[in-house]
Amino acid sequence: AQSVTQLGSHVSVSEGALVLLRCNYSSSVPPYLFWYVQYPNQGLQLLLKYTTGATLVKGINGFEAEFKKSETSFHLTKPSAHMSDAAEYFCAVSGGGGSNYKLTFGKGTLLTVNP
Amino acid sequence: DAGVIQSPRHEVTEMGQEVTLRCKPISGHNSLFWYRQTMMRGLELLIYFNNNVPIDDSGMPEDRFSAKMPNASFSTLKIQPSEPRDSAVYFCASRKQGTGGAWETQYFGPGTRLLVL
CB A77, CB A68: distance < 8 Å: no
Of chain A, the percentage scoring pLDDT greater than 90 comes to 74
Helix, strand, or coil here: A14?
strand
How distant, in Å, are the alpha carbons of A4, A6, A33, A92, B107 from that of A29?
Answer: 14, 20, 12, 14, 24
**Closest residue in chain A to residue B39, using alpha carbons only:** A107
Which chain B residues are closer than 8 Å to A32 by Cβ? 102-103
Structure confidence by residue, pLDDT tens digits, B30-88: 999 999 999 888 999 999 999 999 999 999 988 999 999 999 999 999 999 999 999 99
pLDDT at A99 over 90: no
Query: Nearest CA to A94 among A36, A10, A9?
Result: A36
Inter-chain residue contact A94 with B102, CB threshold 8 Å: yes
Residue B102: in which H helix or E strand, if any?
none
The band of A97, judged by pLDDT with boundaries at 50, 70 and 90, is low
Contact B109/A49, CB-based, under 8 Å? Answer: no
